[in-house]
Amino acid sequence: MQDRIAGLHRNPQAEKAIFDNRQPRRRRTLWLAAVCAVAFAVLAFFVQAGITTPFDNLAVTRATTLSSTRGLVPAANLASSLASLPSLAAVLLVSSYLLGRSRSDRHRLFMLQCASLVGAGILNLGLKVAFGRLRPEVALVAETGLSFPSGHSMLSMAAFGLVALLVMKRVRNPRAKTALVAAMGVTIALVGASRVLLGVHYPTDVLGGCLASLAWILLVSRFIPEGRPTEARTARVPAAAPIVRRHASTQIP
């Protein structure tokens, strides 16, 4: 009887259904990555054509004027430092440790996040050279290099955005999942806003960086280890057939 119950728990059809259900999700991920890439291409065309120039100049001028408020520039520098390499390395280490299921799984997650970060940095350098946009002239801090797309925005999206995708896939508690994803989104928004407040980037630089990096991490997320099917979802076990006990009848002579 124990062998029969063990056989019910090992349901090949349930395990196959779990793997089959991953295929539509992966196709949706590809579609979302394609949409982000197309949106970035449209934005880049508008930037190159000068359509966004009046909006960008007005936004940067207003932002730098607002930055004269006492304490706002140090706060913007602090928010911008969230996308520094030491901060991002700490995020990668902590998130891979907390979200990993085992030592080998943590190692794979860490390496995947490092690949995401390095890939976003290389992509950012290539895009900056390709578009060659200069930085705003009203910068409040010294920065070098080109402007479009924002490197801080791309790196923050590559790190915090990928952590959000990992949380969505691996955290089961709905409240914890919502809180963590929202925290990652707020962090990315703070980094982007700080670059505009400091006058080192136009708003379209930040938006372009987020779109390009989001397309990249959506592709990277396809390589997130899923784990065993029995760990990802508990298979439904069909009810066992009732056991009929046969009692020996006592015959009265």
| Phi-psi category of residue 187: left, alpha or beta, with phi > 0 → left and psi -120 to 50 → alpha | alpha
CB 145 within 8 A of CB 128: yes
> Which residues are CB-neighbours of 37 under 8 A, at least 6 positions away?
211, 212, 215
The three-state DSSP-derived secondary structure of 131-175 is HCCCCCCCCCCCCCCCCCCCHHHHHHHHHHHHHHHHHHHHCCCHH
Rounded to 5°, angle at Cα 185 from 182 and 189:
135
> Could you give the CA distance from residue 97 to residue 94 in angstroms, rounded to a whole number?
5
Active-site hit among 9, 107, 152, 247: 152
CB 26 within 8 A of CB 222: yes
User: Could you confirm whether 152 is annotated as catalytic?
Assistant: yes
CB 196 within 8 A of CB 202: yes
User: Could you confirm whether 9 is annotated as catalytic?
Assistant: no
Active-site hit among 9, 107, 201, 247: 201
Rounded to 5°, angle at Cα 112 from 194 and 161:
30
CB 62 within 8 A of CB 136: no
CA of 91: how far to CAs of 44, 86, 94, 207, 235, in Å?
30, 9, 5, 22, 34
Catalytic residue IDs: 152, 201
